[in-house]
Homo-oligomer: A and B are copies of this chain.
């Protein structure tokens, strides 16, 4: 019996995924959580073999949870289940120690299959996405990412400068560099491309 913790911030999707897995004879959803922090609490209370987690959640993201599990419960394996086929997310999931990276776009039965594979010691990662992640590493520096993230929301260069304790000219330099690296024509386009690739 593979004991599984499900982590997903949308209650209905969480309940539905639990219903999907409960159909399987050899799998049992022993607990659920709506964010990474709640998940860590559940792990203190329930013996678990596999954690299935979404990425984008409030309080604590799935990737932060994955890293924390790697530190505190190295015997537990993590399946990341997300909407986004983004190489950058896969890079970060892999770095965080994930054993599988699954898309919600995959057939329903692939979730149970992936859980069994991971339990048996395999990694489950789409080879095409893995190749893309290798072919195109994140070109942004830490600061470029930070200023681009704020620019994406419409913050002006002056606002970004104040928020990050930088001069306005420095912010413009970072933005200009990021725009160039992404082959964009302005900050909006650059942010869109970075987000699409999971670099933001």
| Residues of A bordering B, CB below 8 Å | 9-20, 23, 81, 83, 102-111, 151-156, 184-192
- The residue on B at minimum CB distance from A14 is B108
Question: B188 contacts A104, CB within 8 Å?
Answer: no
Give the CA-CA distance A106 to B152 in the complex, in Å. Answer: 29
Question: Which residues from chain B contact A104 at a C-beta distance below 8 Å?
Answer: 10-13
Question: Which residues from chain B contact A108 at a C-beta distance below 8 Å?
Answer: 11-12, 14-16, 18-19
Looking at the complex, which one of B11, B19, B102, B154 makes contact with A107 (CB distance below 8 Å)? B11
Question: B153 contacts A192, CB within 8 Å?
Answer: yes
Question: A188 contacts B152, CB within 8 Å?
Answer: yes
Question: B11 contacts A105, CB within 8 Å?
Answer: yes
Q: A12-B105, A12-B111, A14-B108 are in contact. Are A154 and B19 (CB under 8 A)?
A: no
Give the CA-CA distance A10 to B85 in the complex, in Å. Answer: 12
Question: A10 contacts B83, CB within 8 Å?
Answer: yes
Q: How far is the CB of A93 from chain B (nearest CB, A)?
A: 17
Give the CA-CA distance A23 to B20 in the complex, in Å. Answer: 10
Question: Which residues from chain B contact A152 at a C-beta distance below 8 Å?
Answer: 188
- The residue on B at minimum CB distance from A11 is B107
Looking at the complex, which one of B11, B187, B188, B191 makes contact with A106 (CB distance below 8 Å)? B11
Q: A19-B20, A19-B23 are in contact. Are A153 and B12 (CB under 8 A)?
A: no
- The residue on B at minimum CB distance from A186 is B154
Question: Which residues from chain B contact A156 at a C-beta distance below 8 Å?
Answer: 185-186
11 sample A-B contacts, Cβ–Cβ < 8 Å, listed by A number = A10-B83, A12-B103, A12-B111, A13-B16, A14-B108, A19-B19, A151-B188, A152-B188, A154-B185, A154-B186, A154-B191
